[in-house]
């Protein structure tokens, strides 16, 4: 067989030459994908929105232009910024509290079978009750001030962080724990040096899911009894019949959620990269 022998070097030369242009093309594609595609997608989305607005009329759908001027109006008088900051503060505090309680609780439940057995029914009970069911009692118990909203955000965050953390702790490879023990680590050292770092990825996953829940919850919390916040903005706009303001509130919620998730992903992919966090 001489043919393969003579063609092989030519083929390998050809493949050796190709990578350079193909890498360049790949880089070009990634720039297009990273910037061009999202922008194109956004433009198409806005056009579709404009189409819907023209079809249904301003009483049902606020057009992009109207929404933009409403946003400018609400920004000028400070309502939009203030609503965003107030909602963000409530979300931030409740969500952080949810992680600060949920992560240690999950680790404890993951490590100690007795605690898991005792608390598991409660976790599985409460996680099916949506926070909106508690809005009225939360206001009755914690007043119409900030506390009731923060408690509701905490409530919507804590279980999902706990459940993810438990899964993370239970998912730690037995060989890692055995290795730590046979390298001379005490129980406390194993906990600090192996269990905690090995659980970081699932805590981050729990935190991201909890953030989504927090945004879902903030509107119901602020709609019922609040003078401020994006939920309140949306609800008050209804009373003024200002559908364009409602659109501004809705879009602000989406943008804030998007930015918060990007922030988590940024932290996870830089500071927490070594813990194997995949985002």
Partner 1 sequence: MTIQSEVPMTATTAVPPARPAPALHLDGVGITFGDFTAVEGVDLDVRNGEFVCLLGPSGCGKSTLLSVMAGFVPPSDGVIEMEGHAIKGPCPELGVVFQSSDALFDWLTVSDNIAFGPRMRGVDKARRAEIVEEHLRLVGLAQHADKRPPQLSGGMRQRVQIARVLANEPEIVLMDEPFGALDAQTRTVMQVELDRIWRQRQSTVVFVTHDIDEAIVLADRVVVMTAGPSAGIKSTYQVDLPRPRDVDSPAFVELRHAIREDITAEVAKSLGLPTAGTTGTPEQEVRA
Q: Which residues bind partner 1 (CB under 8 A)?
A: 173, 175-176, 178-186, 189, 193-194, 197-198, 200, 274-276
Sign of the alpha-carbon dihedral angle for 126, 127, 129, 133: positive
What single-letter DSSP state applies at residue 57?
A: -
* Cα–Cα distance measured from residue 112 to residue 231, given in angstroms and rounded to the nearest whole number: 40
Residue 74: which of 264, 204, 250, 200 has the closest Cα? 250
* Cα–Cα distance measured from residue 264 to residue 279, given in angstroms and rounded to the nearest whole number: 9
CB of 164 to partner 1, least distance (A): 18
Nearer to partner 1, 181 or 216 (CB): 181
Residue 150: which of 159, 139, 160, 140 has the closest Cα? 139
Q: Residue length, the chain? A: 279
CB of 266 to partner 1, least distance (A): 19
CB of 191 to partner 1, least distance (A): 12
* Cα–Cα distance measured from residue 10 to residue 12, given in angstroms and rounded to the nearest whole number: 5
CB of 102 to partner 1, least distance (A): 21
Residue 147 corresponds to which tokens in the numbers above? 């506390």
Nearer to partner 1, 130 or 197 (CB): 197
Nearer to partner 1, 120 or 173 (CB): 173
Residue 229: which of 43, 67, 93 has the closest Cα? 93
CB of 198 to partner 1, least distance (A): 8
**Chain Cα centroid distance, residue 226:** 24
Nearer to partner 1, 49 or 191 (CB): 191
Sign of the alpha-carbon dihedral angle for 233, 239, 243, 244: negative
Nearer to partner 1, 58 or 276 (CB): 276
Residues 205, 221 contacting (CB under 8 angstroms): no
Nearer to partner 1, 185 or 250 (CB): 185
Nearer to partner 1, 33 or 189 (CB): 189
Q: What counts of helices (H) and strands (E) characterise the chain?
A: 13, 0
CB of 262 to partner 1, least distance (A): 23
**Chain Cα centroid distance, residue 10:** 52
* Phi, psi at 65, each rounded to 5°: -65, -45
CB of 203 to partner 1, least distance (A): 13
């Amino acid at each position: 067989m001489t043919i393969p022998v003579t063609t092989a070097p030519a083929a390998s030369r050809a493949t050796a030459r190709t990578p350079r242009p193909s890498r360049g093309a790949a880089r070009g594609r990634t720039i297009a994908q990273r910037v061009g595609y999202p922008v194109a997608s956004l433009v198409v989305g806005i056009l579709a929105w404009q189409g819907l607005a023209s079809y249904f009329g301003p009483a049902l759908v606020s057009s992009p232009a109207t929404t933009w001027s409403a946003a400018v109006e609400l920004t000028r008088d400070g309502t939009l910024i203030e609503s965003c900051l107030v909602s963000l503060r409530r979300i931030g505090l409740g969500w952080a509290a949810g992680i600060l309680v949920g992560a240690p609780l999950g680790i404890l439940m993951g490590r100690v079978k007795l605690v898991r057995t005792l608390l598991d029914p409660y976790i599985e009970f409460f996680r099916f009750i949506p926070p909106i069911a508690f809005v009225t009692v939360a206001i009755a118990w914690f007043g119409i001030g900030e506390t009731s909203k923060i408690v509701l955000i905490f409530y919507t965050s804590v279980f999902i962080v706990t459940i993810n953390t438990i899964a993370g702790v239970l998912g730690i490879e037995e060989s890692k724990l055995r290795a730590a023990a046979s390298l001379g680590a005490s129980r406390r050292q194993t906990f600090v040096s192996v269990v905690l770092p090995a659980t970081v990825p699932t805590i981050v996953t729990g935190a991201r899911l909890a953030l989504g829940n927090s945004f879902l919850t903030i509107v119901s919390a602020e709609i019922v009894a609040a003078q401020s916040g994006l939920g309140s903005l949306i609800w008050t706009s209804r009373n003024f019949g200002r559908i364009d303001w409602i659109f501004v509130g809705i879009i602000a919620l989406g943008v804030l959620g998007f930015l918060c998730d990007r922030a988590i992903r940024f932290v996870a992919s830089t500071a927490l990269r070594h813990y194997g966090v995949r985002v």
